[in-house]
Amino acid sequence: MNRLAAVALAVLLCGGHARSADAAKSAPKPAAITPAPTPPYKPAIRPGGRRIVALDIGHTRAQPGAISATSVPEFEFNQRIVQLVKQRLADSKVAEPVVINADGGPITLPERARRAALAGASLFIAIHHDSVADKYLQTDEASGKKQFRSDFRFAGYGVFISRKNPAFDESLAVARLIGAQLEKNLPFATHHNEAIRGENRPILDSERGIYEYDDLIVLKAALMPAALVECGVIVNPEQDVLLRQPAMQKVIADAIATGIEQYFSAK
């Protein structure tokens, strides 16, 4: 997959609203990255039997994904949750976290998956925050610059998995564990199921908030079980406030970390 195609799909992922596309066009182009060959993949097992989970921070500083109702880039939300999941797993007896794209520099989607394989990861978890379809975004220019907001009905989390991942059943297993933790405190955001262009994602498990999205590049490029978590809808002003609160960030990170630990513990 070339870089431009990867960027186009990355924009679709978090709702594909106009500002993400604009940001992608105006952002400085990352330096050309020569695809490196992928070495034979072998999951690592650490002393004590701990397995490695790759925590992928969605998007980059230059192409930060969706923009919240108060203009906070999605990348910053994603980075915070990954930091908290990493902290939460620091003393885990079953999981050892490795962060992909910690500095937010230029990186292709296949490269994220390749780095997880190089690290010997047994599991790949991508962290994102969500947007909505363009037609649901209202433009607010009162502050002198364009802001995009959705109404309050778009709220909650979603866990995405791909049938093109080589370990679909395992991906579903970990998605169910993470989704079961998240649904204790958050609603499932069902808007990606709407029958409109850019959405239409089949729901695999409505109780645990799981969608099928076969062509998500990081999920199908990952050589290990993989899931992508949209933690909340940051274009919704109410959710934007909530998702910036440290207490809510901790709830989300704890839920994801617990799901990861349960998955490894069941091995």
Question: What is the full DSSP assignment across 153-194?
Answer: T---BEEEE-TTSTTHHHHHHHHHHHHHHHTTTS-B-GGGGS
Element spanning 79, H or E: helix 74-88
- Taking the CA atoms of residue 190, residue 155, residue 24 and residue 86 in that order, the dihedral angle to the nearest 10 degrees is -100
16, 58, 73, 97: residue in contact with Zn ion (rule CB under 5 A): 58
From its phi and psi, is residue 53 left (phi > 0), alpha (psi between -120 and 50) or beta? beta
Q: Is 128 a binder of Zn ion (CB under 5 A)?
A: yes
Judged by beta carbon, residue 120 or residue 158, the one nearer Zn ion is 158
Q: Are 43 and 50 within 8 A, CB to CB? A: no
Contact range with Zn ion by CB under 5 A, out of 7-15, 115-123, 174-182, 236-244? 7-15
Which residue has tokens 């405190």? 185
Q: Is 14 a binder of Zn ion (CB under 5 A)?
A: yes
Q: Is 65 a binder of Zn ion (CB under 5 A)?
A: yes
Judged by beta carbon, residue 36 or residue 102, the one nearer Zn ion is 102
Contact range with Zn ion by CB under 5 A, out of 56-64, 109-117, 174-182, 204-212? 56-64
Judged by beta carbon, residue 14 or residue 177, the one nearer Zn ion is 14
Pattern of binders to Zn ion over 129-148, x per CB under 5 A? --------------------
Contact range with Zn ion by CB under 5 A, out of 9-17, 49-57, 159-167, 212-220? 9-17
Distance (Å, whole) CA 214 – CA 162: 4
Could you list the residues that contact Zn ion (CB under 5 A)?
14, 58, 65, 128
